[in-house]
Structure 1
Amino acid sequence: MDWLMPWLQMFFGTDVDWKQVLLVGMSPIFVLAFLVEWRVMLRRGRNSQFRWKEIWANIALGSSYQIAETAMWLLITGAVFAFVYQFRLFELPVNGWTILPIFVGVEFCYYWFHRCSHRIRWFWTAHVVHHSGETMNFTTAMRQSVLNAFIGSYVFYLPLVLLGVPPAVVMFLYAVNLSYQYFVHTEVVGRLPRWCEFWLNTPSNHRVHHGRNPEYIDRNYGGVLIIFDRLFGTYEREEAPVDYGIPQQIVSYNFLVLNVHEFVDMFRDVLAPGPLTQRLKHLWKPPAWRRPGHENVRTWTTESRS
């Protein structure tokens, strides 16, 4: 394996982004899993969730996300993690005794990143891309925005680095978390045994998260575990059939529109006439928030599905 590090450093620099390494390495498994899912659902006569325009949009969004994340790590994110790690409070060992608590720590950070991505519009401008798909299959997990790399979502993981977890470990375990999540974006699996549904983010639990049904909106934020949703009151069990998408559904398969529509609308809302203190609230208030006397901007065509 002596050849591996020089090869990785050629692409990722001296501070290898293990998150991207693992996700790229998992890509053939992701593709194979999708093909199996498609065949199984085809045999069941349930292939309505395989809309090929949306699937190709998902693949394009996922590929560009990987490129943007890698570029951002090389330019900024890697340096930020390295800088914060210089001021770590402890020297935390990484071994068989500590890896599980560290993983739970990453999951905890992911929960709050995910929750803030729904409740703070600045972060929602990137995360909305993931939720604007109106079907559910494995490629939905690939539906990510290039803006993820630029809005600063990595700050949610810096507390672990400050505590003394090496950045490479944080990023690798984050990638393990994301890899697991790929396999919960499906309708091929129904409800799992009760203990699984209680502890884990399962396909059933995650389908709820993607629903625009009123009772499902902003629920089930967990990545691998669902216990933080239960602890913080954001858990919802799958009961009614899930209606996938967002209440103000963007009507487009255009790669650029899907990436920037909410970001553009947010800044147009900020720039619209009104008191500055009210206009700036569009940056941190929930996505559906409206300031008095202003109708939120919709630059591109949307359809109300609420």
Structure 2
Amino acid sequence: MPDFSPTEYAVPLFVIAVLAEMIWAKFRAPETYEAKDTLVSLAFGLGSTVAGALLGGFALALFIKTYDWRVFDFGPEWWAVWWAWPVCFVLDDLKYYWVHRAGHRIRWMWAAHVNHHSSQHYNLSTALRQTWTGSLTFGFLFAVPLVLLGFHPAMIAICGGFNLIYQFWIHTEAIKRMPRWFEAVMNTPSHHRVHHATNPRYLDRNYAGVFIIWDKLFGTFTPEVDDEPIRYGIVKQLGSFNLLWAVFHEWIGMIADIWRAPWRHKLSYLLREPGWSHDNSRDTSDMIRARWLARTGQDRLPASMSVADRNRIADAGEAA
């Protein structure tokens, strides 16, 4: 089978779409784009391409070696097994949901993924804010079960490429809602705006790549509401257009926390959720969201929340 990368063919369409959205924004929503922010997003996209070429070899070698241990064999002409392609696409999207969710719940992985959320603007150029350091988090290991099931690494890569292409168009405010049947099954601009929001009701929701059904199935779905303006970015905004700071700021912060922490807590700063601290000096997204839910009376605190975190939320509520 010839080497094929769907994202390479899609690049001209990406450029045309960004330019078209810029024209739309000029007349309809000029605040959508900010020149320096867009330049940082473009630099992210270029840098991630270079980083992928330099660091992706290890993952490829691992997948090829793992393929020798596959449970099912689709034969030497695996690319001609037509039904394997849609199955692989769906399973790869399920894999994406879980690696994406882990990217928000494990600080080591968040250090790489935070790049994608660092813009306070939401437009098609934001989709190009791809990580330079993703290979360092070993998120690619989530694809190993697909390889063991017999899907060739090239098939997985091609399906992943089409998944990435699909996600490009949902980074826009130009489209408000898709038809109801489409919104029920597929990820859309409305659903993904929620994912990029810092509003407490939206934190760490809607992890889907292509199919929003995963969020509905695993309890992480929240619909967009029309009566609350969305605030984009991260809880602690960058406050800078410095590219290198945007790329590495969370790695720097995480390493500093690990260095200063008592020995018994060092690993937690690597593997616990972003915002966690051993001295309760910071808030996690769960705590921010739970406090908002408790204050508005819309839900009870999560049963999984620790006693210490519950007490902190109660104390904050009394102080307010």
Aligned counterpart for 2:189 among listed residues 195, 200, 203 = 203
1:119-130 → structure 2 map (5 Å cutoff):
119-130=105-116
Aligned counterpart for 2:257 among listed residues 269, 291, 299 = 269
Q: What is residue 9 of structure 1 aligned with on the other side?
A: none
**Deviation, structure 1 residue 228:** 0.4
Q: Tell me the secondary structure at the aligned position of residue 37 of structure 2.
A: helix
**Deviation, structure 1 residue 149:** 2.5
Q: Does 1:101 align with 2:87?
A: yes
**Deviation, structure 1 residue 272:** 0.7
Question: Residues of 2 paired with 1:264 and 1:230: CA distance?
Answer: 35
1:74-113 → structure 2 map (5 Å cutoff):
74=57, 76-92=58-74, 93-94=78-79, 95-113=81-99
**Deviation, structure 1 residue 273:** 4.0
Q: What is residue 59 of structure 1 aligned with on the other side?
A: 42
Question: Residues of 1 paired with 2:20 and 2:188: CA distance?
Answer: 18
Task: Letter of the 1:61 partner, please give it.
Answer: F
- Deviates further, 249-258 or 59-68: 249-258
Question: Residues of 2 paired with 1:149 and 1:253: CA distance?
Answer: 24
Distance 1:82 1:190, change over 3 A: same
Question: Residues of 2 paired with 1:97 and 1:170: CA distance?
Answer: 14
1:128-147 → structure 2 map (5 Å cutoff):
128-147=114-133
Q: What is residue 226 of structure 1 aligned with on the other side?
A: 212
Superposed CA deviations along residues 75-114 of structure 1, whole A, max 9, x for unmatched, are x121111111111111135532222121110000000000
In the TM superposition, structure 1's runs of 4+ consecutive aligned residues that sit over 4 Å from their partners are 293-296
Superposed CA deviations along residues 107-130 of structure 1, whole A, max 9, x for unmatched, are 000000000000000100011011
**Deviation, structure 1 residue 34:** 0.6
- C-alpha root-mean-square deviation of aligned residues, in Å? 1.8
Question: Residues of 2 paired with 1:197 and 1:29: CA distance?
Answer: 24
Unaligned runs of 5+ in 1: 6-15, 297-305
Kept in 1, the 8 Å contact 2:97–2:214? The answer is yes
Structure with the bigger percentage of helix:
2
Task: Letter of the 1:71 partner, please give it.
Answer: L
Q: What is residue 233 of structure 2 aligned with on the other side?
A: 245
Superposed CA deviations along residues 182-226 of structure 1, whole A, max 9, x for unmatched, are 100001111111111110000000000000000111000001110
Q: Does 1:30 align with 2:14?
A: yes
Aligned counterpart for 1:164 among listed residues 137, 150, 157 = 150
Superposed CA deviations along residues 243-294 of structure 1, whole A, max 9, x for unmatched, are 10111111111111111110111111111141x2311101110001111277
Q: Tell me the secondary structure at the aligned position of residue 200 of structure 2.
A: coil
Q: Tell me the secondary structure at the aligned position of residue 31 of structure 2.
A: coil
Q: Tell me the secondary structure at the aligned position of residue 240 of structure 2.
A: coil
**Deviation, structure 1 residue 153:** 1.5
Unaligned runs of 5+ in 2: 284-291, 293-320
Q: Tell me the secondary structure at the aligned position of residue 238 of structure 1.
A: coil
Q: Tell me the secondary structure at the aligned position of residue 61 of structure 2.
A: helix
Q: What is residue 292 of structure 1 aligned with on the other side?
A: 279
Q: Identity rate of aligned residues, in percent?
A: 37
| TM superposition score normalised by structure 1 | 0.87
**Deviation, structure 1 residue 43:** 2.7
Question: Residues of 2 paired with 1:28 and 1:36: CA distance?
Answer: 12
